[in-house]
């Protein structure tokens, strides 16, 4: 797509951490993942250490994710060349001396880490670390994962949808919002470097029989306090409270698969209902994200236009406005000249 204007800058986002896959899906076989339009292979080396490399064998461009792991090496499925964790080819079995490997025989290896139940990669030196969410790591809260939600839009559209207050009663009536109370209460967004913070006390729908996932009591019109941190470019930490001890934290990270593709990973931590089966929250999230997907995939352009003159912003859209400003301010979204192809 070549619409003029400012869009997410995939090259600039190489210097950010992005999620690639749920960690428990990477066991003893390599796994393919796409990030920022680049094919990657994710695998575990010695001791389970996560590794991320280019998923293109330097010999003939075969996907290394078709291969297999031996110790701390990844073997290509086509001719058996073996790669070390730093991406160097260390053995070419077709040669008399397999260890006599030319210096050019290597693939790119990238920074990787495992945290919050996900494998993350940064394709260049990351500009800032992952958010700190102690609730997900202290062992006292129950944590459920949901997704990934693979949508045909850019990661910014998926993130903006997650932060959009105005749509709850319309897209999720009875689940996240009350159609009789559609007014968005006033709130303020504070931008602090790459983190936007804002909070809102909002009417919400009562817990339903189908999805008793929230901590609100049933008496009176329920209200929920939501404290958001939006860590640019695509990670959201949302803490929910209902005025008592009960707390819930939503961790949402969208993987920029390509310019117009994304995958959203959800972790939900709670200090109540800790014995509830995971599928209650998972089916709830599948329902919510399914309702959102239809609407968001219909948006044009498929990518958030970061120019503030594009689209029509009202006061209750303050998060989107602050997000678009901050993304441009930090160089994570940039203008492309009219008619130029950015793909």
Residues engaged in binding ligand FES (CB under 6 A): 57, 59-60, 62, 76, 78-79, 81
Binds 292: which of Fe ion, ligand FES, none (CB < 5-8 Å by kind): Fe ion
Binds 146: which of ligand FES, Fe ion, none (CB < 5-8 Å by kind): none
DSSP state of 25: G
Least distance (Å) between residue 41 CB and ligand FES: 12
Q: Could you please report the per-residue DSSP string of 190-217?
A: EEETTEEEEEEEEE-PPPPSS---S---
Least distance (Å) between residue 183 CB and Fe ion: 17
Q: Is 38 a residue that touches Fe ion (CB under 5 A)?
A: no
Q: Which of 38, 292, 302, 317 forms a contact with Fe ion (CB under 5 A)?
A: 292
Whole-number Å distance between alpha carbons of 80 and 270: 47
Least distance (Å) between residue 32 CB and ligand FES: 15
Q: Is 55 a residue that touches Fe ion (CB under 5 A)?
A: no
Least distance (Å) between residue 66 CB and ligand FES: 9
Here the tokens at position 129 are 């670390």
Here the tokens at position 303 are 């990518």
Binds 302: which of Fe ion, ligand FES, none (CB < 5-8 Å by kind): none
Question: What are the distances in angstroms from CA 333 to CA 79, 186, 259, 304?
Answer: 41, 27, 12, 10
Q: Are strands 190-192 and 195-203 parallel, antiparallel or unpaired?
A: antiparallel
SS (H, E, C) 223-250: EEEEEEEEECCCEEEEEEECCCCCEEEE
Binds 113: which of ligand FES, Fe ion, none (CB < 5-8 Å by kind): none
Q: Cβ closer to ligand FES: 31 or 205? A: 31
H/E stretch holding 326 reads helix 318-329
DSSP state of 180: T
Which residue number has the CB closest to Fe ion? 292
Q: Cβ closer to Fe ion: 257 or 296? A: 296
Burial 77-116 (b: 16+ CB within 10 A, else e): eeeebbbbbebebbbbeeeeeeeebeeebbbebbebbebb
Here the tokens at position 282 are 């998972």
Least distance (Å) between residue 207 CB and Fe ion: 17
Least distance (Å) between residue 18 CB and ligand FES: 26
Q: Cβ closer to ligand FES: 60 or 190? A: 60
HSE-up (13 A, CA, CB side) for residue 239: 16
Here the tokens at position 269 are 């931590």
Q: Is 260 a residue that touches Fe ion (CB under 5 A)?
A: no
Binds 78: which of ligand FES, Fe ion, none (CB < 5-8 Å by kind): ligand FES
Q: Cβ closer to ligand FES: 57 or 155? A: 57
Q: Cβ closer to Fe ion: 38 or 292? A: 292
Binds 62: which of ligand FES, Fe ion, none (CB < 5-8 Å by kind): ligand FES
Whole-number Å distance between alpha carbons of 69 and 304: 39
Q: Which of 48, 12, 214 minimizes the C-alpha distance to 125?
A: 12
Least distance (Å) between residue 78 CB and ligand FES: 4
Binds 187: which of Fe ion, ligand FES, none (CB < 5-8 Å by kind): none
Which residues between 112 and 131 bind Fe ion (CB under 5 A)? none
Can you give the binding site for Fe ion, defined by CB under 5 A? 292
């Amino acid at each position: 797509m070549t619409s003029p204007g400012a869009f997410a800058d995939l090259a600039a986002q190489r210097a950010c951490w992005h999620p690639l896959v749920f960690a428990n899906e990477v066991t003893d076989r390599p796994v393919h993942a796409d990030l920022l339009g680049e094919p990657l292979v994710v695998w575990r080396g010695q001791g389970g250490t996560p590794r991320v490399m280019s998923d293109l064998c330097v010999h003939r461009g075969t996907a290394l994710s078709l291969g297999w792991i031996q110790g701390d090496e990844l073997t290509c499925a086509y001719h058996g060349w073996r790669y070390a964790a730093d991406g160097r080819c260390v053995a070419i079995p077709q040669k008399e001396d397999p260890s006599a490997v030319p210096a050019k025989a290597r693939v790119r290896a990238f920074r990787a880490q495992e945290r919050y139940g996900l494998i993350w990669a940064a394709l260049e030196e990351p500009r800032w670390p992952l958010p700190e969410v102690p609730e997900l790591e202290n062992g006292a809260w129950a944590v459920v994962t949901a997704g990934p939600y693979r949508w045909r839009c850019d990661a910014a559209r998926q993130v903006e949808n997650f932060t959009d207050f105005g749509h709850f009663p319309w897209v999720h009536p009875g689940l996240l919002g009350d159609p009789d109370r559609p007014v968005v209460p006033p709130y303020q967004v504070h931008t602090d470097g790459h983190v936007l913070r804002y909070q809102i006390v909002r009417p919400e729908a009562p817990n339903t029989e189908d999805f008793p996932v929230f901590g609100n009591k049933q008496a009176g019109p329920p209200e929920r306090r939501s404290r958001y941190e939006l860590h640019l470019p695509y990670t959201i930490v949302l803490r929910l409270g209902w005025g008592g001890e009960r707390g819930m934290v939503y961790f949402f990270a969208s993987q920029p698969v390509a310019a117009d593709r994304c995958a959203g990973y959800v972790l939900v931590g709670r200090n109540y209902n800790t014995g509830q089966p995971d599928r209650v929250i998972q089916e709830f999230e599948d329902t919510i994200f399914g309702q959102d997907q239809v609407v968001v995939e219909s948006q044009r352009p498929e990518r958030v236009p970061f120019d503030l003159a594009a689209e029509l912003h009202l006061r209750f859209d303050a998060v989107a406005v602050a997000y678009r400003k901050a993304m441009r301010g930090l160089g994570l979204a940039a203008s492309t000249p009219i008619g130029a192809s950015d793909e």
